[in-house]
């Protein structure tokens, strides 16, 4: 069988990560290794460790001709990006599954299969066919394009994620500005010490988590998460004040939230955020992200909970909170509990998410209080 021509990308717009992954494949990495290692730095993963982790997935898992190693390598990347950090985080597991399915479907659409034996038309588990594949140059001609496809799809996925993330940050910035103006229309000129509010909330958060060695304390993670959301309100306000525009404030927030934060003890992460805030008299978004990670609070939950609390605050103000006529408990439950049900039932990716939350609150609020 004549050797096929060596693969050359025909996509001048191929992302740099895809070009690098192909180069890695052509210079010693197997298909799975070439995908995982190109993203190793993103997760502070030692490249040698990444090589070892992905080794057995090459050739359709142990050269058995199953799912293409580029896809199993990508599944590892998506697991690092989205996967749960605890046994009970079902939502994170489902998010990783959904992204992995999306990537495989895109790959199959382009190449007709996700199976190594079908892509190469050779069964690598059969020694004779494996040697035929090597002799005909299939690993030099076909496999690199599969590497390029997968990393290009991953790049598209990351870009879309970042775009959605930035839009959500813009939404939160605008809502925070609106809430601040509701309290004081000239809040930007008032000289409020937002950084002081941040480090004070850090101390409250540490109390909820527990730090006293002379008594038994069980971390109250629900309250910890609420304190993180409160800090985020102040951080958004600080970002607005220190930026020329909402767009630049969103870019700063996105940069901090998307960086890989060093894994540290939760108490230490709180102290580092407080220390940086006091030293710089401004919000340190990277240190804030470190606290989020240590508390197992992801961006989507930050966004959903922030929007919920912001909208509830507006709703309270619009329904008599200031004059004392607002009803906080109805049907035997606090408004926060009703809000939790509403947030669980709505699509937080919807452009009208905040409006939807408000309308649902209005729908369940006692009509005799209106």
User: Are residues 105 and 39 located together in one domain of the fold?
Assistant: yes
My answer on whether 283 and 365 are in the same domain is no
- Residue 219 DSSP code: -
* Last residue in a domain, options 267, 297, 327: 297
Q: Are residues 271 and 342 in the same domain?
A: no
Examine residue 44 and state whether it is found in any structural domain, yes or no: yes
C-alpha span between 201 and 220 (Å, rounded): 15
Tell me whether residue 132 is in a domain.
yes
> How far are the Cα atoms of 19, 100, 131, 135, 294 from residue 10, in angstroms, in the given order?
11, 25, 28, 24, 43
Provide the pLDDT for residue 360: 94
Conformation bin of residue 71: beta by default, left when phi > 0, alpha when psi is -120 to 50: alpha
Does residue 147 share a domain with residue 54?
A: yes
Domain count, the chain: 3
Q: Which residue has the tokens 């939404």?
A: 171
Residues 229, 293 within the same domain = yes
Contacts of 37 (CB under 8 A, 6+ apart): 24, 29, 47, 50, 51, 54
Q: Residues 260-270: pLDDT tens digits? A: 666 689 999 99
173 within some domain: no
Residue 74 belongs to what domain range? 16-158
**Range from 128-132, 218-222, 352-356 that averages highest in pLDDT:** 128-132
* Residue 10 included in any domain: no
High-pLDDT (> 70) share of the chain, %: 95
Cβ-count burial 30-65 (b if 16+ within 10 Å, e if not): bbbbbbbbbbbeeeebeeeebbebbeebbbbbebeb
232 vs 257: CA distance, rounded Å: 12
CA dihedral 162, 166, 168, 169 (to 10 degrees): 130
Is 179 part of any domain? no
Q: Is the pLDDT of residue 180 over 60?
A: yes
Domain final residue pick, 297, 328, 359: 297
Tell me, yes or no, whether 113 lies in a domain. Answer: yes
Shared domain check, 278 and 347? no
Is pLDDT above 60 for 3? no
Based on the fold, state whether residues 58 and 154 are members of the same structural domain.
yes
């Amino acid at each position: 069988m004549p050797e096929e021509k060596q693969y050359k990308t025909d996509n001048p717009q191929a992302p740099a990560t895809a070009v690098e992954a192909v180069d890695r494949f052509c210079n010693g990495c197997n298909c799975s290794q070439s995908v995982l290692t190109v993203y190793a730095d993103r997760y502070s993963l030692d490249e040698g460790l990444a090589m070892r982790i992905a080794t057995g997935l090459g050739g359709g898992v142990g050269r058995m001709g199953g799912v293409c190693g580029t896809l199993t390598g990508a599944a590892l990347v998506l697991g690092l990006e989205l996967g749960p950090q605890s046994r009970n985080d079902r939502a994170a597991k489902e998010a990783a599954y959904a992204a992995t399915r999306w990537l495989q479907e895109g790959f199959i659409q382009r190449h007709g299969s996700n199976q190594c034996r079908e892509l190469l038309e050779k069964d690598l588990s059969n020694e004779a066919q494996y040697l035929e594949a090597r002799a005909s140059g299939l690993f030099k001609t076909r496999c690199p394009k599969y590497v390029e496809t997968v990393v290009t799809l991953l790049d598209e996925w990351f870009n879309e994620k970042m775009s959605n993330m930035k839009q959500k940050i813009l939404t939160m910035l605008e809502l925070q500005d609106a809430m601040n103006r509701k309290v004081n229309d000239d809040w930007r000129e008032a000289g409020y010490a937002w950084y002081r509010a941040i480090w004070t909330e850090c101390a409250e958060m540490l109390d909820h988590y527990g730090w006293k060695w002379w008594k038994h304390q069980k971390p109250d993670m629900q309250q910890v998460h609420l304190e993180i959301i409160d800090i985020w309100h102040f951080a958004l306000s600080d970002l607005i004040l220190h930026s020329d525009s909402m767009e630049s404030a969103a870019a700063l927030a996105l940069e901090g939230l998307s960086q890989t934060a060093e894994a540290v003890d939760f108490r230490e992460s709180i102290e580092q955020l407080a220390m940086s805030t006091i030293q710089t008299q401004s919000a340190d978004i990277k240190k804030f992200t470190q606290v989020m990670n240590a508390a197992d609070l992801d961006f989507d939950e930050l966004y959903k909970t922030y929007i919920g609390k912001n909208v509830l605050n507006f709703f309270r103000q619009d329904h008599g909170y200031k004059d004392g006529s607002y009803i906080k408990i109805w049907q035997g439950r606090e408004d926060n509990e009703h809000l939790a049900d509403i947030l669980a039932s709505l699509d937080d990716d919807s452009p009208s998410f905040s409006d939807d939350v408000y309308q649902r609150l209005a729908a369940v609020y006692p009509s005799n209080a209106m």
